[in-house]
Copies of this chain bind each other. A is one copy, B any other.
Amino acid sequence: MNRSYRIDCLQYANWSEKIFHEMHEGGVDAVHVTIAYHENFRETVLNIEQWNRWFERFPALIFKGRTGDDVRLARNTNRTAIFFGFQNASPIEDDIGLVEIVHALGARFMQLSYNNQSLLATGCYEAEDPGITRMGRQVIKEMNRVGLVIDMSHSAERSTMEAIELSDRPIAITHANPASWHPALRNKPDDVLRALGQSGGMLGLSVYPHHLKDKSDCTLESFCEMAARTVDLMGPGCVGIGSDLCQDHPDSVVEWMRVGRWTKEIDYGEGSQSNAGFPNMPSWFNDSRDFGNIENGLRAAGLDDKEVSGIMGENWLNFYDRSFAPQGKEVECGRDTAAE
């Protein structure tokens, strides 16, 4: 099998057999799926239960991923490994002991905050960012210890810089783009991305239209040129894809993503009153079958084979190998067979 690994390090879909087939058709070996935006611990467990049912029903298409080796297993068996992650710290509530529990249940990424202030860090929509909190410093140590990756995609700048500094292990921004390409609260300044790359961290490039130059009209060329410049900025081993594909959801879901339970008023987040729903995806990326478009676009933008395969999946695979095992039991080349 000659093709590159393909890893999408962020999707949040209205999951269905159809979508699992699309992952298969797109040759996607692994997907980091969001299983919590605002859910507390018990609600997150319910979402895991739902995934357990899908794993039980569709074993020829998907299985639960825990280690980098599960990505290799997925490729060797023509399936997709599903890695769990949280876009908020809500699943651990106010309880540091839940960090180890959610890792045991399969969680591999957790954002320290989602747009708003959390108990751990500041979100990108708060007016000010005082950095990582007292509890946040404790939780970062615990996430490092058990192998739960810190994700700062929706966090504010100072909190992100402090997370990079405080964390003993590389962190991730699973889905965002450089703000220098498209200014948006969710996109990241060059100095943050540079620090992320220097620390061995990863950026997943997002295809969500609010993160794209010209939004839904963004061209594949523009996206892939941005990818090439980001490789120059961060280093070739630090860039992957985190499409932020939000597929087949009604618009009520994006409203819930923005509002959760924290306000009785509408908050439009990245949208606006006149553009409140999910934005239209760009023509060249509608679902998991379109990864070939990105791969071709990266080649057309002048990236070499190694750079392209790095972005398409090898870089995330390398990061998974280094990140998901308990501290002190990291593996460098995918020999991680840590049982849970």
Contacts and interface: CB of A to CB of B under 8 A. Distances in A.
Interface of A: 38, 40, 90, 93-97, 116-119, 122, 125-131, 133-136, 138, 142, 260-265, 267
Contacts of A97: 261, 264
Contacts of A138: 262-265
A97 B130 CA distance: 27
Given A95-B262, A96-B263, A126-B133, 4 more contacts: A90-B94, A117-B133, A135-B263, A138-B264
Contacts of A130: 117, 122, 126-130
Most chain B Cβ neighbours within 10 Å, of A40, A90, A142, A262: A262
A116 B127 CA distance: 19
A129 B138 CA distance: 19
Contacts of A40: 93-94
6 contacts: A95-B261, A95-B262, A116-B135, A128-B131, A134-B267, A138-B262
A176 B125 CA distance: 33
A94 B134 contact: no
Contacts of A122: 130
A134 B116 contact: yes
Contacts of A128: 130-131
Contact of A119 (B119, B136, B264, B267): B119
Contacts of A119: 116-119, 262
A103 to B, nearest CB: 15
8 smallest CB-CB distances across A and B, nearest first, come from: A128-B130, A117-B133, A95-B261, A135-B262, A138-B263, A130-B130, A116-B134, A94-B261
A117 B135 contact: yes
Contacts of A263: 96, 134-135, 138
A95 B264 CA distance: 10
A94 B135 contact: no
A16 to B, nearest CB: 28
A262 B134 contact: yes
Most chain B Cβ neighbours within 10 Å, of A94, A135, A261: A94
A134 to B, nearest CB: 5
Contacts of A127: 130-131
Contacts of A96: 261-264
Nearest to A117: B133
A285 to B, nearest CB: 31
A308 B277 CA distance: 60
A112 B136 CA distance: 18
A240 to B, nearest CB: 30
A269 to B, nearest CB: 11
A125 B117 contact: no
Nearest to A98: B261
Nearest to A90: B94
A90 B119 CA distance: 11
B118 A126 contact: no
Nearest to A138: B263
Given A94-B90, A125-B134, A264 B142 contact: yes
A94 B131 contact: no
